[in-house]
Structure 1
């Protein structure tokens, strides 16, 4: 319990650091006249607030490890890659993001299923059901994201998919690969203790 509380405090500090960086970025880019960057920094703040608000509204006590990786994902994709323009300097950064998103979405699916089961008064779901639901959830969300990119590209003239089916499929493959990593991890945990699958994220 004490270790979990310490992790929650670390996440709170990490989130505050992200707010501070965004605030400094808004001032800096505002002074230099890069108002598009100011908007991007403000958007990061909005996303962080929405993430916090959504967890509060749904009364979801996110496991500290899952919350940490969601914050890391926001920092990498929205801050490092877009705000500071690291796509041009870090090879295959986009693919690394999709790989990480597959892992995060896998454990998000696990968290959602466990939460729904507890709300219905269910307990002791078979490990296989939890693992496969989480896997299919992650793969489905990878597809949904590509649908969003396709739609936004065609409606607003963006280039998220580089006009390429190959780019789209590689993104989905990366997301699926990340989810497979989650599957292997939980199968390993289930072999040691089938009941640990319900709480594996909380215990990390």
Structure 2
């Protein structure tokens, strides 16, 4: 039954996988440098949402799955496999900012599942803190992995610069703040947000719309 259920995330990933490989082949045929092995590996990682649904016996919202697929294309594929990082100076910063938004959405979904299991709304301050700390923790962990890769494998992910490392962490942190702002102001994405934060947002909106007593 679960294998049947994961067909949707597999089918959702398929056009992204085919497009990435096709673009890489065209660029390689044109004589330009492209990392084909990395492209194939990234295409495989697009099955991660399906694997998560199978392992954790849950359903990932479509918005989160699409965001993940777009992140893989814009970040590792375009940035590393197609070398956009070396062409557009700020591309890496934009990718780290988006990673903060994506991971904040994961934090929201985790809170949502916890509330569904406990059937008790969590405090608003706690939910917001978890979301922001999730984005910050991921940003720091990403930089640790880049440092380890540079030290062990001889890569140049951090370019030997503390400014690059701190800039990436700040970009991820700001991405988390942006995701929270989007949730509190526009109540989006509703499919990911925990009910407690949606209700808190609704109460604030109702209070703002209430007529002032005279």
TM-score range, shorter chain: 0.7 to 0.9
Q: CA deviation at 1:172?
A: 0.4
Match of 1:83?
Answer: 81
- Contact 2:97–2:175 at 8 Å: present in 1 too? yes
1:113 to 108, 111, 114: 111
2:185 to 176, 184, 188: 188
Gaps of 5+ in 2: 1-6, 188-193, 200-214
Give the secondary-structure state (helix, strand or coil) at the position aligned to 2:151.
Answer: helix
Q: CA deviation at 1:24?
A: 2.8
**What pairs with 1:140-155 in structure 2 (closer than 5 Å)?**
140-155=137-152
Match of 2:154?
Answer: 157
CA separation in 1, counterparts of 2:157 and 2:30?
A: 27
2:56 to 36, 58, 78: 58
Match of 1:170?
Answer: 167
Give the secondary-structure state (helix, strand or coil) at the position aligned to 1:123.
Answer: coil
- Contact 1:131–1:183 at 8 Å: present in 2 too? yes
Residue 195 to residue 18, structure 1, CA distance change in 2 (3 Å): closer
- Contact 2:100–2:175 at 8 Å: present in 1 too? yes
- Contact 1:26–1:42 at 8 Å: present in 2 too? no
Match of 2:3?
Answer: none
Q: CA deviation at 1:29?
A: 7.4
**TM-score normalised per structure 2:** 0.75
Residue 75 to residue 14, structure 1, CA distance change in 2 (3 Å): farther
CA separation in 1, counterparts of 2:140 and 2:93?
A: 15
Residue 30 to residue 76, structure 1, CA distance change in 2 (3 Å): closer
Q: CA deviation at 1:183?
A: 2.3
**TM-score normalised per structure 1:** 0.78
Q: CA deviation at 1:67?
A: 1.4
Match of 1:127?
Answer: 124
**What pairs with 1:63-74 in structure 2 (closer than 5 Å)?**
63-74=61-72
- Contact 2:100–2:171 at 8 Å: present in 1 too? yes
Match of 1:3?
Answer: none
Aligned residues: CA RMSD = 3.0
